Structure 1
Amino acid sequence: MRVLVVDDDRLVCASLKTILEAEGDIEVVAMGYDGSEAVALYSQKQPDILLMDIRMEKMTGLQAGEQILQAEPQAKILYLTTFLDDEYIVRAIGLGAKGYILKQKFESIVPALRAVQMGQNVFGDEIVTKLPELMAQGGQKEFSQYGLSAREEELMALVAKGLSNREIAARLYLSEGTVRNYLSAILDKLQLRDRTQLAIFYYESGRVLRR
């Protein structure tokens, strides 16, 4: 696994390089110290994953991530930060980041990188527990303006609860293939990338999830 590390604290970068390369199968291809370096180094090195801080001088990690993903939508970005701000979480997910974890939990970094490499989205427990707060922010969106049917809205609510395709299929008496088709159609209509962005979209609509 080839990883690009970007953090404005050079000691953190050096520590991360030591931790990651001790795994044997992880190579830190380069280290950068601000968002502009992240953009340039990503283009040059084409890493499997970009592990990046958020608050940095000159250009933030969020600004850098947005530029990188506009140029290369398949880029895998994992944010590693000390900040648990709602705005940062929503922006990171909204721009298409694959994960958001806290620096305080160094033991979670390698497992998170491996999960992202396998195509998973990784958000720490602290992030997940913030989602109900995000739910209450802003007014309620009318999904009908996006051309969503009542069934699609129902399925979206179940995705937001964290149910898998199999669990949704059982709940709605559908096949898993039909659920996948519905999900693809919803993502296309809303111009979203994945289930995580869909859940955040639902939370931001101001709706309250029924347990």
Structure 2
Amino acid sequence: MKILIIDPHFITRSGLIHVITTYPGEISIYEATTFAVAQDYLASGERFDLIFTELDLPDADYRHVVSRLRELSPSAHIVLFTWRSQSNDIQGAVSQGARSYLRKDALAEDVKMAIHGLLQGRTYMPTESLRYREQSEAERKLSPRQREIMQLLAQGLSNKEIANILGITEGTIRVHLSAIFKAIKVSNRTEATLWYLLRQN
């Protein structure tokens, strides 16, 4: 696995590298202190599986960091590793292609759990930091079964795993997900997960 960490602070990069390297496996880690350095890596043809990025970089507008990374590395799993916690900032980054969000002030155990999942290809969103208390009209359209599916989806489970838990077929799960995406006006699982997590009390 090849990982790129984009962050201007040495201590942050070192701490993240320390946690990542406690897990087994062949892992190559590259560091970039600015967006320009990251861009050089990506433009050189290097392909990364995971990209951890701070949104507040000295040479880039935080509102466009993820979209620019997505253009340079469309197949990478982009992880927001940032102090920013405003819902609109995170939503904007996710809509541009970020798949996971890890807060820098998260508890150590949460960081370890998140990184373990990321190294296995799962996404991560911290429920305790994403709040949206008003029930929307779209949310009220979801059936109890669809809410169950959304809850399991937000845990990073696959269609097969959800189907096994609920005792229904994968085909039925796909039909429900299609209806859910249409009802809440999202286009993929990542956006649906964020939509669900933002509405947890």
TM-score (norm 1): 0.67
Match of 1:166 in 2: 163
Match of 1:7 in 2: 7
* Aligned pairs for 1:95-174 within 5 A: 95-104=96-105, 105-127=107-129, 130-133=130-133, 135=134, 154=143, 158=147, 161-164=150-153, 165-166=162-163
CA separation in 2, counterparts of 1:74 and 1:31?
A: 19
CA separation in 2, counterparts of 1:160 and 1:84?
A: 26
Cα offset, 1:111, TM superposition: 3.2
Q: Is the 8 A contact 1:35 1:60 kept in 2?
A: no
**Alignment partner of 1:177: what SS?**
helix
Q: Aligned AA for 2:94?
A: I
**Alignment partner of 2:36: what SS?**
helix
Q: Aligned AA for 1:120?
A: R
* Aligned pairs for 1:1-211 within 5 A: 1-25=1-25, 27-44=27-44, 45-60=46-61, 63-104=64-105, 105-127=107-129, 130-133=130-133, 135=134, 154=143, 158=147, 161-164=150-153, 165-166=162-163, 175-184=169-178, 187=181, 192-194=187-189, 196-201=190-195
Q: Hey, which of these two has a bigger chunk of helix by percent?
A: 1
**Structure 1 residues 175 and 11, CA gap change in structure 2 (3 angstroms):** closer
Root-mean-square deviation (CA, aligned residues, Å) is 3.8
CA separation in 2, counterparts of 1:43 and 1:159?
A: 43
For structure 1, the 5+ residue unaligned runs are 144-149
Q: Is the 8 A contact 1:65 1:97 kept in 2?
A: yes
Identity %: 17
Cα offset, 1:65, TM superposition: 1.8
**Structure 1 residues 18 and 199, CA gap change in structure 2 (3 angstroms):** closer
**Structure 1 residues 109 and 2, CA gap change in structure 2 (3 angstroms):** farther
What whole-Å deviation, never above 9, does each CA across 1:118-146 have from its counterpart, x for those lacking one? 3322012423xx2324x56xxx6779xxx
CA separation in 2, counterparts of 1:69 and 1:114?
A: 23
CA separation in 1, counterparts of 2:42 and 2:182?
A: 28
Q: Aligned AA for 2:12?
A: V
